[in-house]
Amino acid sequence: MNEQVANFGNTVQQLRRFFRGDNDSLNSYLSKCLFFSGMGSNDYLNNYFMPDFYSTSSDFTVKAFGSALLQDYSRQLSVCYAHLILNYSTYS
């Protein structure tokens, strides 16, 4: 998901150029967009419960792995928020 978050940030920057720095118009445009973020199933199924391919289950308990996923997800959502909200005042 880190790559998807980075791609989203790049898209917002490209839109900023398209809107020629008019942050109000960009904000209005983005406010009409629907955003979805989902995680978990592939992380557990592919990384944790497939010990022949991944060492995750030997590195973490189920609870610790869930905690690590939540920390990553929280950070990723914060970055998305920064691209949407904080970027306007940071780069204008």
pLDDT digits (tens, 9 = 90+) for 34-82: 777 776 667 677 777 788 888 888 888 989 988 988 898 888 888 878 7
- pLDDT for position 18: 92
Q: Is the pLDDT of residue 17 over 50?
A: yes
Q: Does 43 or 13 have the greater pLDDT score?
A: 13
- pLDDT for position 40: 61
Annotate 6-67 with three-state secondary structure: HHHHHHHHHHHHHCCCCHHHHHHHHHCCCCCCCCCHHHHHHHHCCCCCCCHHHHCCHHHHHH
Q: Does 88 or 64 have the greater pLDDT score?
A: 64
Q: Is the pLDDT of residue 87 over 60?
A: no
CA 15 from centroid of its chain's CA atoms: 18
